[in-house]
Structure 1
Amino acid sequence: MLLRSKAGRGAAVTGSGVRGFGKVISLLLMAGMVSYASPAAALDSQEAERVVTILENLVTETGGSVFYDEEAAEEWFQIDDETSRLIPAAGFTRTAWKTAFDQTMTGFIASIPQAEMEQMMEDFMDKIGEVAKMTPQQKEEAMALLRAEKRNFDGIRARGAEYREFVSSYIPRLRNITFRR
């Protein structure tokens, strides 16, 4: 899985001992690196289904997984434009896609139970040293980054709360494409 930072740099993470790490990083990427502006149009269940179906198809085509940051909707739009053109076929303009994508993903993030989120964070804390051979300074820097991103997470969850109902039927499908191993 390629982990993306806001600047677009990534670090490869592989191996069986990093499942919790991958989940936490996926969520942090989805939650912490977003400059989110409230769009005018509100998500409905049919629109959420179209977004999820398109993402499932694109994930299958690319072999990737869905992440959420300030550029993710645009990147998926470009990938689709170069491949199957499912997004315009589903009736989305570039702007409408960004709005629907953002609302679907924040609704998904809001749907993750707090206890599950805390457990993923704990698992990550336990495994951070196992993921890579890190110096104590690197480990502390990673922990500081995690704490900072965690603070941003509550705001994303709050913004997504109004969309949680429309996304709820698609949670298993979204988990499948965001927490891919």
Structure 2
Amino acid sequence: MLRATRHILAAVFCAGVTLASSPATALTSSEAASVVDLIEALQPQLGPFAYDEEIVAEWFERDAEGSRLITTAGFTAESWKAAVGETMRGFLAVVSEAELHGVFGDLKTGIRRLSQLNDVQKEEAIASLDEEFDKMLAMRAEGEPFVDVVRPLEGRLREVVLTRTE
């Protein structure tokens, strides 16, 4: 279970490094809670949530064509993108660095064990993973201003972002 959670966490982090950073704003507890509430409410119809710029935009668009929960909660496309980004960066900052190193260590071990890759391909994949890890650490640092707001939501965020049926 822990290993599966680590792999899912790694996938979320790797996908998340592509989300553009916006200037830090004052994410409120209410906004962060609304983000989590909305993800929980929309997952049954929109599927598993992943922290990615395209997915965040797609969720806004699909919801706008349907239930309009996001706009009813007071978000525009831009404010939704910012609130989700700040909430997720805050979540990254809440997760311990030791856990993150463990996740990426497990991924590297998995890459080294792939029999379908030759040694050069494995090293290239590991180098790419190292770059993604550095980007994720930068996002984690950007999340520091949001830690106090996001920490009370950590358990719920782990559920909606990391829990997958296997």
**TM-score interval, normalised by the smaller of the two chains:** 0.7 to 0.9
**Counterpart residue number, 1:29:** 15
Q: Cα gap change, 1:97/1:158 in structure 2, threshold over 3 Å: closer, same or farther?
A: same
State the alpha-carbon separation in 2 of the partners of residues 81 and 135 from structure 1: 46
Q: Give the residue type in structure 1 aligned to 2:65.
A: E
Equivalent position amino acid for 2:21 in 1: Y
Give 1:180 shift: 2.5
Match for residue 36 of structure 2 among 52, 65, 70: 52
Q: Deviations over 1:71-95 (max 9, x none)?
A: 3321221121233211011111112
Gaps of 5+ in 2: none
Cα distance in 2 for residues equivalent to 1:59 and 1:138: 36
CA separation in 2, counterparts of 1:95 and 1:124?
33
Kept in 1: contact 2:22–2:82 (CA 8 A): no
Aligned residues of 1:21 and 1:127 also touching (Cα < 8 A): no
Contact residue 46 and residue 59 of structure 2 kept, 8 A:
no
Aligned counterparts of 1:19 and 1:172: Cα–Cα separation in 2: 13
In structure 2, distance between residues paired with 1:140 and 1:128: 9
1:120 aligns with 2:106: no
Q: Flag the structure with higher helix content.
A: 2
In structure 2, give the amino acid aligned to 1:72: I
**In the aligned structure 2, how far is the partner of 1:71 from the partner of 1:131?**
29
Measure the CA separation in 2 of the matches of 1:125 and 1:162: 30
Describe the SS at the equivalent of 1:71.
helix
Give the counterpart letter for 1:37 in structure 2: S
Residue in structure 1 matched with residue 54 of structure 2 by the alignment: 71
Give the C-alpha shift of residue 132 in structure 1.
7.6
- Does the CA contact (< 8 Å) of 2:19 and 2:85 recur in 1? no
SS of equivalent residue, structure 2 residue 53:
coil
C-alpha distance in 2 between matches for 1:37 and 1:45:
18
Structure 1's 50 and 112: CA in aligned 2 closer, same or farther, altered over 3 A? Answer: same
Normalised TM-score (structure 1): 0.80
| Residues 35 and 63 of structure 1, relative CA distance in 2, 3 Å threshold | closer
- Residue from 75, 88, 97 that aligns with 1:92: 75
Fraction of identical pairs, as percent = 34
SS of match in other structure, 2:44: helix
2:151 to 143, 162, 168: 168
Distance in 1 between the 2:39 and 2:114 partners? Answer: 28
Alignment size in residue pairs: 162
User: 2:163 aligns to what?
Assistant: 180
Matched, 1:104 2:87: yes
1:168–1:18 Cα change, 3 Å: closer
